[in-house]
Amino acid sequence: VVMYLDDILGQLREAAAPAGAEASTSGAGRPLLSFYRFWLHQGVLKPITEILLAKEWKKWGNPFTAVITRENCHKMDVPDYFDVIQTPMNLKWIKAKVDKHKYLTFQQFDADIDLMLENAMTYNREGEPVFAMAKVIRDVYKQKVADLQPAIAVLREFVRYWNLVEEPSLSRSFSDAAVPS
C-alpha cells in the first residue's frame, strides 16, 4: 500500500496543476479527495478496525462492541454508566463510520479509539476485567498503528500537498498519558 501510494503521490506531483493553483474539495480536487478517503478507509482504518473487532475474551466476547444507551444500561448491568461517561463510544459505531467513510483524517479515528478506551478505563477500576481488556486493546491498536505508520505518513503528505482537508486541532490524541499503561 505504501509503495503504491508513494508512487501515486509522485505521479500526481508531476502532473500538478499550474503554479499557484490549489486543489479543493470541489471541481478538480474532488477526485483527489475521493482517492484520499478511499485509501484512508480501506488501507488504514478498516484493517485496524477489523483487528480490534476480532479480539475476544473467554466468557466476555468483545465488550468494546457493546452499544450502551440510556435505554439499555440497566439491562447491561451498568445503570450508572451515563453518570460517569458523558460521551459513549464503541467499536460498532467506529466500524459504521469507517464503512461510511465518515472520518476525514486519521486523527478523528484516533480520537474515537482514544475516547472508547478512556471511557472503559474511567468507568471500570484497575484490576477489573474490562479495564485490563482496554489495556490489551490499546496495545493491539498501538502495534497496528505502528505497522501502518508508513501508509499514514504518505496519506498525511498527500493531504498536505494537495491541501484537501484541514487537520483538526484535537485537544487530545491517543497517548500513554490519555490511556494509562
The tens digit of pLDDT for each residue in 10-68 reads: 665 555 444 444 444 445 557 788 888 888 999 999 999 999 999 999 999 999 999 99
Domains identified in the chain and CATH numbers = 31-162 (1.20.920.10)
* Apex 79 CA angle, 73 and 85, nearest 5: 80
User: Phi/psi of residue 58, each to 5°?
Assistant: -55, 140
- Provide the pLDDT for residue 19: 47
pLDDT tens for each residue of 105-158 = 899 999 999 999 999 999 999 999 999 999 999 999 999 999 999 988 888 888
pLDDT tens for each residue of 77-102 = 999 999 999 999 999 999 999 999 99
Q: How far apart are the first and last CA of the chain?
A: 31
- Provide the pLDDT for residue 6: 64
Q: Which residues make Cβ contacts (< 8 Å) with residue 11, sequence separation at least 6?
A: none
Helices and strands per DSSP (H, E), number in the chain: 8, 0
Strand, helix or coil for residue 117 = helix
From CA 152, how far away is CA 138, in angstroms rounded? 18
- Provide the pLDDT for residue 36: 86
- Provide the pLDDT for residue 165: 62
- Provide the pLDDT for residue 175: 38
- Provide the pLDDT for residue 54: 98
From CA 71, how far away is CA 62, in angstroms rounded? 21
- Provide the pLDDT for residue 5: 63
SS3 content of the chain, % helix, strand, coil (to 5): 60, 0, 40
pLDDT tens for each residue of 165-176 = 654 433 334 333
